[in-house]
């Protein structure tokens, strides 16, 4: 098995120590950092996303894989930064105001980072204006919001309204998700997309960025 296939394999079992060790070894063998990232780390994470989507694995498996991915990325980071690998795009992410649930939002963030997107994570309990400010400050084309409470879902429509008020509609696209959120709700409030799970969120965000 090639060293990159081994990295992908160990990432899927959440073996962060081996992922770090093999990533270091791959660099020593002269492999390109971007090739190690795309084929080894992102390759492994993509399989994790597919398995999670198919319900073949569960949340703890994804979190373990994410930890292993970070271990490999830590080794590659100095080389990737030095070589100036461009990000696929920026996404502002957060859980809406009044809502402290952040597990799903963090999973979405991990999966987005896994495909090479730059995620600016504002955390949880994020005020509507903060999402819009951050999008302007970072020049991000996408805002992603998560809500787990029916009582906090209206905060999502406040962000959509603010984006329109500030003349950013079309330039800044909005994706919403979370257990009580539906595609119908997303349409009703004028959001650009709805993600039903983390893997679907990745597909939808990539589509929104390519539309811009
Ligand atoms: Co709370 N809670 N909780 N809770 N909690 C729920 C959501 C609830 C459904 C439980 C229940 O009653 N059956 C209920 C909400 C009822 C409702 O409004 N309809 C509830 C309640 C009532 C509350 C409190 C009010 C309880 C209280 O204090 N009386 C309180 C509110 C606090 C607050 O936020 N202000 C509260 C508190 C908490 C804890 C702090 C204890 C904890 C959160 C810890 C944390 O997040 N750090 C907690 C938890 C863990 C849950 C449950 C059990 C699990 C949520 C979770 O993490 N799921 C939840 C019951 C449930 O959902 N079954 C419940 C796993 C996670 C991976 O899934 O977040 O859905 P999820 O994310 C998915 C998708 O939704 C999607 O992708 C993810 C991966 O597939 N997704 C997106 C999420 N965000 C997305 C964004 C996207 C796209 C997709 O685009 C940007």
Q: How confident is the model at residue 85 (pLDDT cuts 50, 70, 90)?
A: low
C-beta of 103 in contact with ligand 1 (< 6 A): yes
CA angle at 122 for the pair 98 and 143, rounded to the nearest 5°: 95
User: Please, what is the end-to-end C-alpha distance for the chain in angstroms?
Assistant: 40
The ranges assigned to domains in the chain are 3-82, 90-211
Higher pLDDT: 212 or 37? It is 37
Predicted confidence (pLDDT) per residue in 143-164, tens digit:
999 999 999 999 999 999 999 9
Hey, what CATH topology would domain 90-211 get?
Rossmann fold (3.40.50)
Question: Going by CA atoms, what residue is nearest to atom 42 of ligand 1?
Answer: 101
Q: Which CATH architecture has domain 3-82?
A: Orthogonal Bundle (1.10)
C-beta of 201 in contact with ligand 1 (< 6 A): yes
Predicted confidence (pLDDT) per residue in 114-140, tens digit:
778 999 999 999 999 999 999 999 999
* Cα 167 to Cα 109: distance, rounded to the nearest angstrom: 27
Question: Going by CA atoms, what residue is nearest to atom 87 of ligand 1?
Answer: 177
CA atoms within a 13 Å half-sphere pointing along the CA-CB vector of 180: 11
Q: Which residues contact 32 (CB under 8 A, 6 or more apart)?
A: none
Q: Which atom of ligand 1 is nearest to the CA of 101?
A: 46
Distance 180 CA to ligand 1 centre (A): 9
């Amino acid at each position: 098995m090639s060293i990159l296939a081994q990295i992908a394999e160990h990432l899927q079992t959440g073996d962060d120590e081996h992922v770090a060790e093999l990533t270091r070894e791959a660099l020593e063998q002269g492999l390109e950092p971007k090739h190690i990232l795309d084929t080894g780390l992102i390759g492994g994470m993509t399989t994790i996303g597919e398995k999670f989507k198919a319900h073949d694995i569960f949340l703890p498996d994804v979190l373990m894989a994410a930890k292993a991915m970070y271990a490999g990325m830590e080794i590659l980071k100095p080389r990737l930064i030095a070589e100036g690998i461009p990000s696929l795009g920026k996404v502002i992410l957060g859980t809406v105001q009044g809502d402290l649930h952040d597990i799903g939002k963090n999973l979405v963030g991990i999966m987005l980072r896994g495909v090479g997107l730059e995620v600016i994570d504002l955390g949880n309990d994020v005020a509507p204006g903060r999402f819009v400010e951050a999008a302007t400050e970072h020049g991000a084309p996408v805002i992603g919001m998560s809500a787990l409470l029916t009582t906090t879902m209206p905060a999502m429509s406040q962000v959509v309204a603010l984006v329109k008020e500030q003349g950013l509609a079309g330039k800044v696209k909005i994706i919403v998700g979370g257990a009580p959120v539906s595609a119908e709700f997303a349409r009703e409030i004028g959001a650009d997309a709805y993600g039903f799970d983390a893997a679907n969120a990745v597909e939808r965000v990539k589509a929104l960025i390519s539309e811009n």
